[in-house]
């Protein structure tokens, strides 16, 4: 049985990767704090040398986008240096590293979907640290797949869908920004794609996000429609919700590579998420 190490296994995406890898019959090594601190290079090297996975999937990250603005060094340690630690350990034992990155490596000023060959230009501390992670992985000499995604949502973590449903339970109307466009991505769908790339031993950069695009306000409207909520959405400008880290106006990712996995439409991912949430409540 092939062995896969999942870093950040306690997080939203990591949990889905562990579940789907187990369903596919892998021997899964699921690690997070306190079992493994991936910022500790020696500890990472020991773990990989001892367990000898054929692939490492890195779902661990500093994801507090606003917090990174005032704690960039700490974010860089996890998003940048730790990614390099995993890549070097993978290289030493001929393991493939699948590393998850983000749309924030771009400036968000485009009008057409970003593809893998577009030049990064991060505008936030979070984006800079994630780009540093990509570069650390590429420089380590390991076989690697860097997977950029966007607008991730799923069970087991804070996400936009859960936030909207919680607000809908309290209000008749919510204001949601309409001038940011992206690709909502269901963590269950992305998890399967990460495993596909590991199985293909694919290399280089891949853009993997939910099919189609929408604004946050359109996403919220679809959430309420699928959930059967009567809550209304009032579209507003981003200027009504100033944040320490500016959000990209354009976060649409598509792949120019024919071998890159294509995810189902984002509405299908939302339907699966809501079905999962309903089952969890019924248990």
- Cβ–Cβ under 8 Å, residues 45 and 33: no
Which candidate in 104, 114, 126, 273 is catalytic?
Answer: 126
Rounded to 10°, the helix 266-282/187-200 angle is 110
Instruction: Show Cβ contacts of residue 119 under 8 Å, excluding neighbours closer than 6 positions.
Output: none
Residue 47's SS3 state is helix
Whole-number Å distance between alpha carbons of 170 and 281: 19
Other C-beta atoms lying within 10 Å of the C-beta of residue 192: 19
Would residue 126 show up in a list of annotated catalytic residues for this protein? yes
- Which strands, in side-by-side order, build the sheet including 181-182? 214-215, 181-182, 250-251
> What sign for the dihedral angle of Cα 163, 190, 272, 247?
positive
| Active site amino acids | 126
């Amino acid at each position: 049985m092939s062995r896969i190490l999942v870093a950040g296994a306690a997080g939203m995406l990591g949990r889905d990767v562990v579940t789907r890898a187990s369903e596919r019959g892998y021997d899964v090594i699921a690690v997070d704090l306190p079992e493994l601190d991936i910022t500790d290079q020696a500890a990472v090297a020991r773990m990989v040398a001892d367990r000898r996975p054929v692939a490492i999937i890195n779902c661990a990250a500093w994801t507090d986008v606003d917090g990174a603005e005032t704690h960039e060094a700490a974010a860089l340690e996890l998003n940048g240096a730790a990614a390099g630690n995993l890549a070097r350990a993978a290289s030493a034992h001929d393991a493939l590293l699948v590393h998850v990155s983000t749309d924030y490596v771009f400036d968000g000023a485009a009008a057409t979907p970003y593809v893998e060959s577009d030049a990064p230009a991060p505008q936030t501390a979070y984006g800079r640290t994630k780009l540093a992670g990509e570069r650390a992985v590429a420089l380590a000499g390991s076989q690697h797949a860097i997977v950029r995604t966007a607008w991730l949502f799923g069970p087991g973590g804070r996400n936009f869908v859960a936030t909207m449903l919680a607000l809908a339970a309290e209000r008749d109307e919510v204001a949601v920004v309409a001038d940011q466009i992206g690709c909502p991505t269901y963590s269950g769908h992305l998890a399967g794609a990460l495993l596909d790339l590991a199985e293909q031993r694919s290399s280089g950069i891949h853009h993997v996000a939910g099919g189609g695009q929408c604004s946050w306000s359109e996403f919220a409207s679809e959430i309420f429609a699928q959930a059967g909520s009567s809550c209304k959405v009032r579209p507003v400008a981003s200027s009504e919700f100033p944040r320490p880290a500016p959000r990209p106006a354009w976060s649409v990712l598509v792949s120019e590579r024919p071998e890159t996995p294509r995810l189902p439409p984002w509405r299908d991912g939302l339907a699966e998420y809501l079905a999962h949430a309903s089952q969890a409540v019924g248990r």
